Amino acid sequence: MAIFDTLGKYRNTGLLILRVGLGAMMMVHGLPKIMGGPEMWTGLGGSMKVIGINFLPTFWGLMAALAEGMGGFLLLLGLFFRPVNMLLAFTMMIAALVHLGKGEGIMGASHAIEVGIVFFSLIFIGPGKYSVDKR
Residue 134 is assigned to a structural domain of this protein: no
Full domain range(s) for residue 88: 12-125
Q: pLDDT tens for residues 54-79?
A: 999 999 999 999 999 999 999 999 99
Residue 133 is assigned to a structural domain of this protein: no
Residue 5 is assigned to a structural domain of this protein: no
Are the beta carbons of 88 and 70 closer than 8 angstroms?
no
Residue 110 is assigned to a structural domain of this protein: yes
Residue 131 is assigned to a structural domain of this protein: no
Give the up-direction half-sphere exposure of residue 30: CA atoms within 13 A in the CB hemisphere. Answer: 25
pLDDT score, position 133:
80
Residue 104 is assigned to a structural domain of this protein: yes
CB-count burial class (<10 Å; 0-12, 13-18, 19+) for 102: exposed
Residue 130 is assigned to a structural domain of this protein: no
Question: pLDDT category, 135, cuts 50, 70, 90?
Answer: low
Domain count, the chain: 1
Residue 1 is assigned to a structural domain of this protein: no
The CA distance from 127 to 19, in Å, is 8
